[in-house]
Amino acid sequence: MSKLESIESTYSRVAQDWNTPITHSGQWFKDSYGRTLLMRGINVCGSSKLPTSPYAGSTHLYDDILFWDHRNVSFVGRPFPLNEADEHFSRLRAWGLTLIRFLVPWESIEHSGPGLYDEEYIEYLRSLIELMPKYGLKCVIDPHQDTWSRFSGGSGAPGWTFEVAGLNIKHFKETGAAYVHNTNAVPGDPLPMVWPTNYTKLASCTMFTLFFAGDTFAPNRKYEGKSIQQFLNDSFINAYQHLATRLVDLESVLGFEFMNEPHPGYIGLNHLQEFDPIVNLIFGDSPSPLQSFALGDGIPQTVGVYIKSWPFPTKKSHDRVINASKTSVWLNNDCIWKQHGVWKVDQATDKPVLVDSNYFSKHPVTGDKVSFYDDFYVPLVNRYRAPVYKETDHHHNVVFSPHWYDLNCVFYKKFNGKITHDVQCLQRGGNVISATYFGQSGAKKNYRGQIKNIKQDGLRDMGDKPCILGEVGIPMDLNDKLAFTDNNYTSHVNFLDAVIYALETNLMNFTLWNYDVCNDHEYGDHWNGENFSIYSVKKAKRDYLEHDDGNSKLSKKHLYDGGRVLEAVLRPYASKIAGTPIESEFDLKNIKYTFSFIPFTKQQQTKLQERYNLIDRNACTTEIFVPYFHFGGKPLNIQINVGECDYDEEKQTLYHTYDRESMGPYVSPSTGARKVGGLASATRSPNVSNVFSRVRKNSTSASSSHHHRLQRLSSCEDWDEENIGETYAPHLISEYFKKYELMTEFINLKNPNHCPLGIYIMPSSENLNVWYGVLFVHQGYYRSGAFKFRVAIPESYPEYPPAVTFMSDMFHPLVDGGGNLSISQQFPTWRPYEDYIFHVLHYIKNIFKKAVLDRLVDKHCHNKEAYRLYRTDANIFGKLAQQCAQLSITESYLFDHFPDDNMIKFSPISEGKYGTYVKQL
């Protein structure tokens, strides 16, 4: 009997089965045989953020009595009823998604009150998790939250936590303290992009600030004899410690997260006049921090309302008055931030004013600058029994678990495979040229680079620890929900294929967002309008293969029913590797999977055998998940360069085994190499490589039947999307790209030495090619002037320079009667991609300096009389220049003299407010 003939007796598990103790060695997860694990799975599920009773917790529903009864709710049945668990766990096992990120919001276990735990729900969780070993599942408990709580527009914390802070949840709508879908949503709301704006609203910001730093920033407030921070911290930690004690004996529980996407609230804000639109989503009603304080204190405010726009994500549409009823959000009518001296009501004007705009950026007692991460986040995580994040003190059992989405596509809900943008690159100071990718291959390259950066950041910041990407996915309501009517999910397949390609080629463990049994086309995941689930009841038993040909037991279970975008989701992957993986890639277009790994060296074996059973034959066996969806019912074309393979279609598993002794002595790849195969994909040595594909008979994959092509704008010639990114210079692509180029130039003005001191500039609210600015001159002939100007950027920029026009009367040699500035002396020949707008801004400032005036040449001057006077009578020139300066700061010019699309506006202030600003400065 050969080694492979005994497969049934040797292999009792399938590739995606995790019924093994899981530990880690360095950055890799390990099973009991020391094999390297690459795990993938899914979040279960989005609707677990909401209770099941006393009424269905979908956020589009509202009951004026039941909604507010937050102490008497139940989450039993989330994510699905116990009697349906076998169906869903079977499906996830068949799909190869067997690592479950299990959402358990704080509210679900402690909604009745502090220290009162819902034992019925915990028992339900136990029963559900006890079923997991039957399907080879492992789970990570996720204390999920979004914007703190359901009652502040998200999910997570119990309603009573607001009472601890002194907040009245029934007054959030009237005071603008939160946007809650249940109470606020009206037809036409641009869901689901409203809910993240709660991170800039009073309720969420206050709760996060108190939770992480209440002892520092609100020490005077107590609850039941404790500081608010300690009361909230104790309650949160005790609740999950209690849950852990109830689940500790269950073999499927891999670990606990600390908190989903924790937020600093107000902590670290350098000022409180406004929120930074680069960091925060400014959308819908957008009060500033000061306005939020005033609204909560019962003072009506006129607040800007923002809508989606291009190229900036949002722009101001109009203003509206909030809290005309003068309602207070505070149970005792005493704002906690006013009590602690952050703001006050000016007695002379009866208007809210900031007392200490830097309050949350420094320690109120010591004055030292604070760090949310070092001073508040890490100490609390340590209390939660997690690691100390120091280079010399990494906790052994910590795992790096970041999240990633293509934020551009998620916000605009668009993906056509023609162009994608690296938002991560832009956030890190990159330029649009390097952050723009074309075609499907460009999207894959884009996403692969971003995921690589995230993985490297984790290894740098946390040490040699495993990484599980906790959330990653795509919205299913892309492109105006067109797929819901024509059932063409090609764009979705291409989108998710690019995303998962980036994950697998970076050898990442990950859990997709998400699998939601409540999902339907109308309400999505039933939470704030989101629609990410790869399962939908609208597709159940209708669209996907039922496999009733009798060739597999899978055919009788309809486990593909309800699946969405399964062409991209169900893909091969090596799950248990008898060595170190170095390459993993699935080619969806050709239904081909390539995998390579390096067998453990003698030195590695010696180290591993101290902890793992390397004698067992399984230690030399690699298991690869081969989804029946793509490969079932067809012979496989398997190519290997060492060892033996066997394929069990029923188990959806390809087994590869090699004889460790026959492999000979190996040396580390860093010091030498030994070639063991002839495949092109197997040139890294010493290694083992597997390449296999489905044998196709005049067939194509579902995703390749719609081949996108990208047309060059300058001709009718078609360009293959696979090569478009390398074919021609990106700055010739489209006006779409040029808008991004301009947007990045503007964003980069915040970089050192880009925007000159004394100049303030903003794009027009209507047209990105028009920027409005103001220059404050403090010395010289034009001292005390506040000169407004407009920068008109031609469509042909950067091939041609921008034009600058001053908007108030200007007597200057370089400025004509219409206010047009001559820049030809500084830029005799405009150099595209060498000369930029910020260079022009510096010149605008410099033309008022004596050194520049002295060097002016007649031929470059528009105003010959001004040029003559400066040369012959500096005294008269100076008087005329001062007239311009004084005219620029008159009320008629300063307050009223601007176009409607100019977002830089001046308004008068009282003497009291002026004194406050001077004191702050």
Cα distances from 892 to residues 172, 244, 286, in angstroms, run 40, 68, 29
Q: Look up 649 and say whether it is catalytic.
A: no
Contact yes or no for 897/806 (Cβ under 8 A): no
Say how many C-beta atoms besides its own lie within 10 A of residue 731's C-beta: 16
* Catalytic member of 107, 110, 174, 471: 471
Considering only CA atoms, which of 42, 45, 40 is closest in space to residue 57?
Answer: 45
Considering only CA atoms, give the Rg of the chain: 31
Residue 64 CB contacts under 8 Å (≥ 6 apart), including other chains:
none
* Catalytic member of 87, 261, 649, 766: 261
Residue 278 CB contacts under 8 Å (≥ 6 apart), including other chains:
747, 750
CA atoms within 13 A on the CB side of 512: 31
Say how many C-beta atoms besides its own lie within 10 A of residue 618's C-beta: 24
* Spatial separation of the C-alpha atoms in residues 821 and 860, rounded to whole Å: 10
Q: For tokens 């998962």, name the residue.
A: 500
H or E stretch at 888 = helix 874-888
* Spatial separation of the C-alpha atoms in residues 221 and 336, rounded to whole Å: 8
* Long-range Cβ pairs for the range 754-763 (8 Å, 24+): 754/838, 755/838, 755/841, 756/841, 756/842, 756/844, 756/845, 758/845, 759/841, 759/844, 759/845, 760/904, 761/791, 761/841, 761/904, 762/902, 762/903, 762/904, 763/312, 763/903
Q: Look up 471 and say whether it is catalytic.
A: yes
Considering only CA atoms, which of 471, 537, 574 is closest in space to residue 87?
Answer: 537
Sign, CA torsion 525/527/530/532: negative
Residue 305 CB contacts under 8 Å (≥ 6 apart), including other chains:
284, 285, 286, 316, 317, 318, 319, 320
N-terminal to C-terminal alpha carbon distance within the chain: 86
* Spatial separation of the C-alpha atoms in residues 584 and 567, rounded to whole Å: 18
| DSSP codes joined into one string, 568-589 | HHS--EEEEESSEEEEEEEETT
Length of the chain: 921
- C-alpha dihedral (687, 587, 730, 743), degrees to nearest 10: -100
Q: What are 46's two structure tokens?
A: 């989005």
Residue 221 CB contacts under 8 Å (≥ 6 apart), including other chains:
165, 166, 210, 214, 227, 228, 336, 339
* Long-range Cβ pairs for the range 548-552 (8 Å, 24+): 549/633, 551/632, 551/633, 551/649, 552/628, 552/632, 552/633, 552/649, 552/650
Residue numbers annotated as active site: 261, 471
